[in-house]
Amino acid sequence: MESLMNLYHEVMKRADPRLQGYPLMDTPLLMTSILLAYVYFVLSLGPRLMANRKPFQLRGFMVIYNFSLVALSLYIVYEVRLEGWAEPWGLSTYTWRCDPVDFSQNPEALRMVRVAWLFLFSKFIELMDTVIFILRKKDGQVTFLHVFHHSVLPWSWWWGIRVAPGGMGSFHAMVNSSVHVVMYLYYGLSALGPAAQPYLWWKKHMTAIQLIQFVLVSLHISQYYFLPSCDYQYPVIIHLIWMYGTIFFVLFSNFWYQSYTKGKRLPRAAQQNGVPKVKAN
């Protein structure tokens, strides 16, 4: 415990002071408590509360929720591209290669801090994905992959953003938010009911888009290992992003194989007006 506390204090000494005062960012205790409560609810409390109750429909809420996340994801993509990754339009301050974090008080750097926090905050909003599963008694959709993604990744992202909001590590935020625009658009349309079903033929392609996401993130971050020199300040973040990109590529490839190659797909009734079996970025 003493070693862990020493490590914690060492990390917090390096915390970016510009994030002080942002919701959830002053201490890891609040965000850790939220994630632990989330895991407890979706794996224990929620199913027990719903055991003798009829499933909630929640169609109206799901429509509003999913389309709100489409709008939020679009805004995050716009902000990240404008502040760092819009080189073709002459607006970029990034090189797409080794980009260290700008810890200055420049307006551009502060804007990246804000959008990095917003990206993290969106992950806590997305915990509602699993709560919806539980309330609708879609317990079969609460897979290991789903819970792992929604709990472990926000926890690790908190540390990365608290220490290094920006730089080459922000590329995955832009790609991930772009994928979420497509993903939550699908879920929002699906929640509209049978009338929208003929327009949802592209469900299979969402998994392909997710796989492409992991390839792009891993390839981009892998540059670090081959560049002659790189001044990115926190290499451990590079290692984590590469590791997560690789792990999720393997997990989603297995989902693709099980769902579309072997034909083990959910019954159509289980897919209607809801979210597919795996809902992750």
Distances (CA, A) of 211 to 29, 217, 229, 256: 33, 10, 29, 9
Residues 6 or more apart whose CB falls under 8 angstroms from that of 59 comprise 191, 192, 193, 273
Residue 2: count other Cβ atoms within 10 Å of its Cβ.
Answer: 6
- Treating both helix axes as pointing N-terminal to C-terminal, what angle do 171-191 and 203-222 enclose, rounded to 10 degrees? 170
- Treating both helix axes as pointing N-terminal to C-terminal, what angle do 59-83 and 128-135 enclose, rounded to 10 degrees? 170
Going by the DSSP 8-state scheme, the letter that residue 58 receives in this structure is -
- Cα 128-130-135 angle, rounded to 5 deg: 90
Two tokens, residue 133? 């599963």
Spatial contact of 102 and 166, defined as CB atoms under 8 Å apart: yes
Q: Which of 149, 172, 180, 220 is catalytic?
A: 149
Phi, then psi, of 4 in degrees rounded to 5: -65, -40
Concerning whether 149 is annotated as a catalytic residue, the answer is: yes
Spatial contact of 241 and 170, defined as CB atoms under 8 Å apart: no
Distances (CA, A) of 176 to 119, 130, 214, 222: 9, 19, 9, 17
For the chain, how are helix, strand and coil distributed in percent, rounded to 5?
70, 0, 30
Annotated catalytic residues are 149
